[in-house]
Structure 1
Amino acid sequence: MTEQPRRYLAPGVLTQHVFNRTVAVLTRCGISLMGSRVLTVVGRTSGQPRSTPVNLLTIGEARYLVAPRGETQWVRNLRAAGNGTLTYGRHAEPFTAVELSDAEKPPVLREYIRKWKWEVGYFLEGLDADSDDAAIAAAAPGFPAFRIDSVYD
Structure 2
Amino acid sequence: MASSERIRPPWWLKYVNKVMIVLNRTGLFSDGPVVLTVTGRKSGKPRSTPITPFEVDGRRYVVGGLPGSDWVRNAQANPEAVLVRGRTREAVRMVELPTQQARPLLRRFPVLVPTGVGFMKNAGLVTGPHPDEFEALAGRCPVFRFDTV
Category of TM-score, reference length = shorter chain: 0.7 to 0.9
Alignment of structure 1 residues 67-82 onto 2, 5 Å: 67-82=64-79
| Secondary structure at 1:141 match in 2 | coil
Offset of 1:96 from its aligned partner? 0.7
Partner SS for 1:25: helix
> What is the alpha-carbon distance in structure 1 between the residues aligned to residue 10 and residue 60 of structure 2?
28
Where do 5+ consecutive residues of structure 2 fail to align? Answer: none
**Contact 1:42–1:50 (Cα < 8 Å) also in 2:** yes
Distance change >3 Å, CA 118–CA 4, structure 1 → 2: closer
Aligned 1:3-152 pairs, distance under 5 A = 4=2, 6-17=4-15, 19-32=16-29, 34-114=31-111, 115-116=113-114, 117-123=117-123, 125-126=125-126, 128-132=128-132, 135-151=133-149
Q: 1:82 to 1:126 in 2, by over 3 A?
A: closer
Give me the whole-angstrom Cα distance separating, in 2, the residues matched to 1:41 and 1:13.
22
The verdict on how the C-alpha distance between 1:131 and 1:59 changes in structure 2, with shifts beyond 3 A counting, is: closer
Using structure 1 for the length normalisation, give the TM-score. Answer: 0.84
State percent identity of aligned pairs: 32
Aligned-partner Cα distance in 2 for 1:26–1:77:
24
The residue identity in structure 1 corresponding to 2:89 is: A
CA contact (8 A) 1:27 1:33 kept: no
- Given the superposition, is the C-alpha separation of residues 101 and 127 from structure 1 closer, same or farther in structure 2, using an over 3 Å criterion? farther
Aligned length: 146
For residues 87 and 34 of structure 1, the distance between their equivalents in structure 2, rounded to whole angstroms, comes to: 12
C-alpha distance in 2 between matches for 1:11 and 1:144: 16
Q: Counting helix residues as a fraction of each chain, which structure ranks higher?
A: 1
